[in-house]
């Protein structure tokens, strides 16, 4: 185990800022709030203890709530406590998040409206009504995003000698270099398309950069000028760093690919005069549609759908804001879009593709300082096998503050250990060049019985997972795709090892993916255990996934789509009964999303019974806190900061016999009823106390916490003068990461 210290090199460009580590306080009376409104209506409600808990006024809309999370991400671009390039990163993440929101959620709403199925959600909003609200908010925030970029970030980057050069700013030498770059790198791979009866409007790839060009004059065939479409080569970077000799000393200078194409577009239409050249981007429906009852081979069906995804129906048109209206109207007609689907932007239309600057700008001083994830004491400098350590006690890891390396090491050790007979693993998202997949391949080649349940339908990871499946099969592993009607989202690893007393089971259970890169960016829990009951249950879940037959009796784990939902409702109701009897009761829920109506109603009942409910919900939250007689005992906060909060963990005081459960599932209908999920208990009292302390850290955060109000707005907590600043992420980083 001592070699674990070599597994985690210091994390670059992703580390901690200066922070005053204060003793944790539980009283929020010293906090003041910075109100940030998002212009969303809250429905009026008449509250009482006898309120109908199915009343639509008790719920927020999930799509609007999702947008509000994206807005909280955008707010990070204005946070002066974040390093400058990380602030730019947050702005680009907002752009990427919004892309996916349109590709999936807006595409779904448009489809419902087109089918004249004006669905009503639990909040009472119809799809058509919702589209109007979403459009208004999205337009406001996109405009705001470009103002932040142009008025705040670009000037601050210039103060740090990082420049985005406009064409008017190019020197003679830079113009010559751009001209050469255009001829050598762009011209050979770009294909201008004139529009006429023999050149119909081309099918443009989803989210690709394109130009609409107005031409005057006659071409070689005598055709009158008109319109042309110029798709930018997708193989080229959208932001090009100037060579060192062309940059001012001590400066990083970049040129947009769009500026290069714009400057030399006339060379692509010889003899013609360009009257206008305007960049635009079309966002398409990217949701895959697979009929579970009609396909015989999931992998083959997915391959076909992945090709179709690039050319789904249009859902949004972004175009530079100086484009004349007759051209924007023309494009809207081509893509069957409405005026509200048009977004006029003051800058590059494809902001998410500018992420390359984060790697090209050699400015570590403008990123979070690097850190090295820590290890639990049990693993620190131990010379024992990880199997020996797991037999002694359960090991809980809190990523990214603690290293993900022990999980990778366990799998590598199992792959090489002659005593290991079999390995079973679920894979949902693993990333490219995955050490997890490599270890499974090695295990199969070493003669282990390797079974991998790989979820091919993990959104936007389908192509990678298809490739991993083929690689594992080639190595001799048994690869299955789970159950057709359910995505396999559970995070499980099961190892069978021959020991002196017979066969022994070992397991890993987690709240996050087997993804080495995101384990450095997302907060998650990992449990390494040799507990017989837990390991037996993990084995039974795998048997259920790979074989057929009736539901097996699973004693310790909770799993969806079977008992997880009902047991969570029972545990919430149990706290309510304790409170009604005057006993101690408390609920702390930390997850990504809270949208499932029956779970929300159970929390309302608990609040009505007097249970203090603290909910740490990063993203969507349909529950409406603070309603007298309904939810005045429920407090909802969202923590948004350097790391993406991804942990799903549930604490129940249980009349002073606390229980902690960690899960792969969020409090959403899809997780409870349409996915295979696991929820595992922490059985060691020390680990229960530790997780409770972690949760309390989030509950006193006054730097990165946003409080959800009864009106549906999020207000950011700001410490009052003289009150210690407390950031949960920084506090946990200080507590768990390796010390120099």
Residues 182 and 39 in one domain: no
646 labelled ligand-binding: yes
- Do 137 and 167 lie in a common domain? yes
CA torsion 497-499-502-503 (nearest 10°) is -10
Peptide bond into 575 cis (omega under 30): no
Tell me, yes or no, whether 528 lies in a domain.
Answer: yes
Shared domain for 536 and 565, answered yes or no, is no
Residue 572 and residue 496 share a domain: no
Instruction: Mark which of 525, 554, 583 sits at the end of a domain.
Output: 554
Helix (H/G/I), strand (E/B), else coil: 110:
helix
Q: Are residues 383 and 241 in the same domain?
A: no
C-alpha distance from residue 198 to each of 212, 218, 303, 587, 626 (Å): 18, 16, 31, 67, 63
Decide if 2 is inside a domain: no
Residue positions annotated with a catalytic role: 489
Residue 228 lies in a domain: yes
Q: Which pLDDT value is given to residue 289?
A: 66
Distance, in Å, from the CA atom of 369 to the CA atom of 358, rounded to the nearest integer, reads 14
The answer to whether 429 is a known ligand-binding residue is: yes
Look at residue 93 and tell me if it is in a domain: no
Handedness of CA 131, 134, 137, 143 (dihedral sign): negative
Q: Residue 407: which H helix or E strand, with range?
A: helix 405-416
Q: Is residue 457 marked as binding?
A: no
Predicted pLDDT at 308: 65
Q: What is the pLDDT of residue 16?
A: 32
Has 264 been labeled as part of a binding site? Answer: no
510 in Cβ contact with 664 (< 8 Å):
yes
330 and 466 belong to one structural domain = no
- Residues in the chain where the model's pLDDT stays below 70: 1-50, 197-198, 220-223, 225, 289-309, 549, 739-740
Is the domain of 432 the same as that of 550? Answer: yes
| Same domain, yes or no: 609 and 513 | no
Per-residue confidence (pLDDT) for residue 14, from 0 to 100 = 42
The pLDDT value recorded for residue 51 is 77
Residue-level pLDDT at 4? 64
CA torsion through residues 372, 378, 380, 384, sign: negative
**Residue 311: predicted pLDDT:** 77
Q: Tell me, what's the pLDDT at 301? A: 61
Quick check: helix, strand or coil at residue 399? strand
Long-range CB contacts (within 8 A, 24+) of 183-191: 185/236, 186/233, 186/236, 186/257, 186/260, 186/261, 186/264, 187/267, 187/268, 189/233, 189/235, 189/236, 190/230, 190/231, 190/232, 190/233, 190/261, 190/268, 191/231
Q: Is 522 flagged in the annotation as binding? A: yes
pLDDT at 121: 85
351 and 387 share one domain:
no
Q: What is the pLDDT of residue 5?
A: 54
- Domains in the chain, number: 3
Q: Which of 549, 550, 569, 548 lies closest to 558 in space, CA to CA?
A: 569
pLDDT of residue 22: 32
Q: CA geometry: angle at 278 spanning 275 and 284, to 5°?
A: 145
411 and 338 in one domain? no
Q: Which of 554, 587, 606 is the last residue of a domain?
A: 554
Domain with 530 in it: 377-554
Q: Are residues 579 and 696 located together in one domain of the fold? A: yes
Instruction: Give yes or no: residues 467 and 586 share one domain.
Output: no
Final residue of a structural domain among 507, 526, 554: 554
Q: Kindly state whether residue 99 falls inside one of the protein's structural domains.
A: no
In the three-class reduction of DSSP (H, G, I as helix; E, B as strand; rest coil), residue 212 is classed as: strand
């Amino acid at each position: 185990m001592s070699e674990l210290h070599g597994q985690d090199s210091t994390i670059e460009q992703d580390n901690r800022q200066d922070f005053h580590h204060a003793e944790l306080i539980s009283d929020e009376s010293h906090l003041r709030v910075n109100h940030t409104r998002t212009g969303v209506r809250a429905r009026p409600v008449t509250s009482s203890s006898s309120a109908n808990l199915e009343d639509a006024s008790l719920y927020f809309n999930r799509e609007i709530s999702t947008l509000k999370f994206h807005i909280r991400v955008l707010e990070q671009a204005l946070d002066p406590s974040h390093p400058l390039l990380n602030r730019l990163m947050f702005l680009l993440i907002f752009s990427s998040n919004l892309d996916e929101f349109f590709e999936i959620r807006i595409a779904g709403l448009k489809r419902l409206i087109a089918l004249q199925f004006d669905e009503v959600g639990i909040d009472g909003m119809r799809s058509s009504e919702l589209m109007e609200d979403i459009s208004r908010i999205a337009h406001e925030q996109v405009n705001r995003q470009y103002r932040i970029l142009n008025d705040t970030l670009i000037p601050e980057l210039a103060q740090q000698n990082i420049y985005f050069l406009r064409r008017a700013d190019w020197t003679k030498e830079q113009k010559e270099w751009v001209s050469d770059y255009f001829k050598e790198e762009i011209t050979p791979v770009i294909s201008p398309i004139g529009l006429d009866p023999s050149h119909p409007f081309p099918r443009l790839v989803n989210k690709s950069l394109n130009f609409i060009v107005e031409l005057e004059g006659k071409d070689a065939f005598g055709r009158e000028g008109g319109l042309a479409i110029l798709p930018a080569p997708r193989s080229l970077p959208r932001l090009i760093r100037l060579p060192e000799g062309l940059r001012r000393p001590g400066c990083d200078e970049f040129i947009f690919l769009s500026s290069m194409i714009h400057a030399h577009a006339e060379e692509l239409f010889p003899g013609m005069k360009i009257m206008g050249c305007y960049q635009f981007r079309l966002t398409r429906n990217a949701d895959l549609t697979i009929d579970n009852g009609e396909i015989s081979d999931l992998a083959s069906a997915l391959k076909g759908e992945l090709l179709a995804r690039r050319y789904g129906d249009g859902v949004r048109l972004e175009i530079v804001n100086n484009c004349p209206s007759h051209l924007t109207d023309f494009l809207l007609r081509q893509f069957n879009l409405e005026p509200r689907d048009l977004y006029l932007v003051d800058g590059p239309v494809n902001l998410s593709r500018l992420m390359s600057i984060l790697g090209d700008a050699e400015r570590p001083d403008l990123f979070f300082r690097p850190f090295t994830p820590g290890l639990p004491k049990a693993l620190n400098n131990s010379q024992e096998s990880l199997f020996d350590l797991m037999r002694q006690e359960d090991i809980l890891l809190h990523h990214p503050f603690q290293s993900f390396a022990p999980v990778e090491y366990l799998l590598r050790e199992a792959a090489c250990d002659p005593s290991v007979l079999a390995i079973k693993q679920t894979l949902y998202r693993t990333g490219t060049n995955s050490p997890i997949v490599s270890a499974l391949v090695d295990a199969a080649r070493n003669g282990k019985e390797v079974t991998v349940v790989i979820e091919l339908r993990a959104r936007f990871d389908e192509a990678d997972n298809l490739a991993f499946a083929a690689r594992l099969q080639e190595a001799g592993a048994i690869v299955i795709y789970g159950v057709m009607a359910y995505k396999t989202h559970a995070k499980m690893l099961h190892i069978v090892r021959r020991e002196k007393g017979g066969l022994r089971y070992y397991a890993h259970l987690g709240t996050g993916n087997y993804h080495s890169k995101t384990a450095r960016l997302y907060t998650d829990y990992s449990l390494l255990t040799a507990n017989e009951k837990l390991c037996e249950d993990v084995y039974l879940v795998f048997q259920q996934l790979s074989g057929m037959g009736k539901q097996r009796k699973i004693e310790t784990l909770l799993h969806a789509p079977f008992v997880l939902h009902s047991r969570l409702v029972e545990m919430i109701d149990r706290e309510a009964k304790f409170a009604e009897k005057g006993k101690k009761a408390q609920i702390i829920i930390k997850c990504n999303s809270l949208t499932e109506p029956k779970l929300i109603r159970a929390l309302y009942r608990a609040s009505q019974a007097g249970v203090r409910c603290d909910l740490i919900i990063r993203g969507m939250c349909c529950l409406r806190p603070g309603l007298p007689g309904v939810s005045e005992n429920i407090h909802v906060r969202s923590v948004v900061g350097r790391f993406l909060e991804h942990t799903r963990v549930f604490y129940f005081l249980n009349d002073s016999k606390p229980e902690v459960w960690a899960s792969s599932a969020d409090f959403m209908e899809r997780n409870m009823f349409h996915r295979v999920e696991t929820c595992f208990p922490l059985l060691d009292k020390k680990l229960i106390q530790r997780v409770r302390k972690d949760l309390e850290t989030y509950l006193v955060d006054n730097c990165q916490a946003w409080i959800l109000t009864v009106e549906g707005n999020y207000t950011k907590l700001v410490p009052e003068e003289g009150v210690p600043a407390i950031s949960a992420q920084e506090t946990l980083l200080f507590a768990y990461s390796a010390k120099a």
